[in-house]
Amino acid sequence: MDWYQEASGRKAAILHDLQGLLAIPSVYDAETAAPGQPMGRGIGEALRFMLDLCAAEGFRVRNLDGYVGYAEYGPEDAEHYIAVLSHLDVVPVSGEWTTPPFEPDVRDCKIFARGAIDDKGPAMASFYALKIVKDLGLPLRNRIRLIFGTDEEKTHRCMEKYKELEPMPAFGFTPDADFPIVSAEKGQINTRFLFPQEPETPDAKGEYELLSFRSGVVANMVPEAAEAVVAGEEGALQALGQAYRAYCNDHGYKGGVETGEQAIRLHMAGKAAHGMEPELGMNAGLALIHFLKNYSWGESAGHYLHTVDTLLFDDVHGRALGIAMEDELSGKLTVNSGILQFDPRGETFFHINLRFPVCGSYEEILKRISVKLEEHRLAMEPPSLKKPHHVPGDHPMIQAMQAVYEAETGQRANLLSTGGGTYAAHFPMGVAFGPLFPGMESTAHQPNEYMEIELLLRCTAIYARTLNELGNLEI
């Protein structure tokens, strides 16, 4: 069977349907949330789009109150089912795009749009993979279920709803990471560190007043922009602006100054990256704070700037927090501060998105962090927690997937780990399988996100062959 030829023969149809899905702005929107679309109108439309596509193909479909939906194919009386879990929600748009992010554009043998690689392109590849199995009339021992989530980029409420209402699969994979096979995922801790709201004492004022500081909009992204509004005497503000320009020039940063009568705005441009790989980005907020902390501020602003700089600047592995660790299976602990805010009249905080190796536990990490909280007079919101996840390499599913990958690519199917939090960790025997091949650039969460069309077709072929194998695996 030439699986790639089967995928290539459906290229026009795959692109047509993917463009329709990518045109839906499926970003979480609390304002349009309603019964049947708990994540907002756009995500609800994306879920209906995929389920309608599956129903038209003759798959058995079900929508679980708009939280999650699935499409199933294979013998209805089969005891077990194999899951393929993808998500239809996307992160908010940020940065400058060559073409509008929800007007999918095919150019340079790629399709550009928000969600192209994360995760709508892989979701469409999975749908066409199952369609190929059906079109060819291949017999299945087990049911195959395509599960479409709606809240992967935030809290995974969709998977909690699914586990509440549906029996667990025998095993499965998510096309939302890397090839060959990601069999281990780091644990996660997501929370905010809150600063006390204390009245300023008259003798605690500094030369400058920090009116506001803002950086980042999404916790699991390295913030690409930051802004500080500073008040002070005219001469002091001029000196601060000159010093800031010199600081940016010396470090190769892209910063700017807007001068007003009684205040100036300092801008910093960083480099966005996924929160699981903060070392690949440049945190604009931390770079700006590292400059500001050297000047004279009131008590609250000084506390904020010095604390954030001490705990986070130039330290993505948690050394200053006392939590650095690593193991051979899943690598080093990472820390990303995706949202930072100082507001004298509101909340002052920084958010951390922390990913720790399989050797760690969130109980021990939180215990260590509590020491720093007390030392710096901080409070911590109740954290969102995710345990590390690992499927042994001798599992029959992994061995079958390795055989398919090696046959289709001619490359060794080594087992990988990730700092990303995928749907695979929601099921005891879940792994991540693609879509990116080793060495490929990932544009997930970035401006001009894209998926190579050749990659889309290769994924479709690999997934079709995999579903045929897993669908007939004796369980």
Distances, alpha carbon 148 to alpha carbons 165, 195, 366, in Å: 15, 39, 33
Residue where the block lists tokens 């998926």: 451
Distances, alpha carbon 239 to alpha carbons 245, 257, 322, in Å: 10, 12, 37
The sign of the dihedral angle between the CA atoms of 63, 64, 67, 72 is negative
What is the Cα–Cα distance from 193 to 199, expressed in whole angstroms?
19
What is the Cα–Cα distance from 345 to 332, expressed in whole angstroms?
38
By CB neighbour count within 10 A (0-12 exposed, 13-18 middle, 19+ buried), where does 238 fall? middle
Active site residues: 89, 152
Amino acid present at 5? Q
Distances, alpha carbon 281 to alpha carbons 134, 247, 386, in Å: 43, 19, 24
Amino acid present at 164? E
Distances, alpha carbon 387 to alpha carbons 38, 198, 208, 471, in Å: 26, 36, 44, 29
Give the angle 297-299-300 at the CA atoms, nearest 5°: 100
Residue where the block lists tokens 């009245």: 199
What is the Cα–Cα distance from 88 to 39, expressed in whole angstroms?
11
Which H or E run contains 178? strand 177-178
Pairing mode, strands 384-386 and 187-194 = antiparallel
What is the Cα–Cα distance from 147 to 427, expressed in whole angstroms?
13
The sign of the dihedral angle between the CA atoms of 421, 464, 456, 37 is negative
User: Cβ(457)–Cβ(132) under 8 Å?
Assistant: no
What is the Cα–Cα distance from 19 to 8, expressed in whole angstroms?
17
User: What is the Cβ-side half-sphere exposure of residue 186, based on CA atoms within 13 angstroms?
Assistant: 25
Q: Residue 185 pairs with which residues in a beta bridge?
A: 389, 418
What is the Cα–Cα distance from 46 to 127, expressed in whole angstroms?
14
